[in-house]
Amino acid sequence: MRIRALFIAVAILIVAMGCGRKLPPLPPTLPDPVEVSSITFVGQEVIAKAQCNMPDATVLLLGKPKGLCPNCTDDLVVKYKVTLEKPGEVVLKDPSPESDYMVYRIAAEHGTTKWTTPARIVVKKQ
């Protein structure tokens, strides 16, 4: 008898947890304006591949030698610039990296809006 009462209490508790106000589902999220596919040293230059999801965007490869603060954006320099008319994959190059340890970000600009990816550190293998 006790087991039956315990079973009924647990069943009621499980059913009660499903009751109540439910929030509507979240809307689908939009992709980032630009997403890094890969950044690697190829010979003496750095090749960056990215997926741009904005039409009429200017895509910039920003870079600097790795210092004490790889996440700082103050001393980033434009290494390569491409203007895209429609969304798609873009290849950016840094023909002469200043160091064997470089920090890169890819930025997308559209009008007055600018969006930057997180920092990526690229190391030249010996």
Domain ranges of the chain: 30-123
pLDDT at 50: 94
What is the pLDDT averaged over residues 91-104?
92
Residue 59 pLDDT greater than 90, yes or no: yes
Q: Which pLDDT band, with edges at 50, 70 and 90, does 19 fall under?
A: low
Backbone angles phi, psi at 9, to 5 degrees: -65, -45
Model confidence band, residue 126 (pLDDT cutoffs 50, 70, 90):
confident
- Identify the CATH class of 30-123: mainly beta
Q: C-alpha distances in angstroms, 106 versus 5, 62, 80, 86?
A: 63, 6, 10, 17
How far is the CA of 115 from the CAs of 13, 33, 48, 85, in angstroms? 48, 7, 17, 17
Average pLDDT, the chain: 88
The H-or-E segment that residue 92 falls in is strand 88-94
Better-predicted residue by pLDDT, 5 or 19: 5
Kindly report the pTM of this predicted structure.
Answer: 0.75
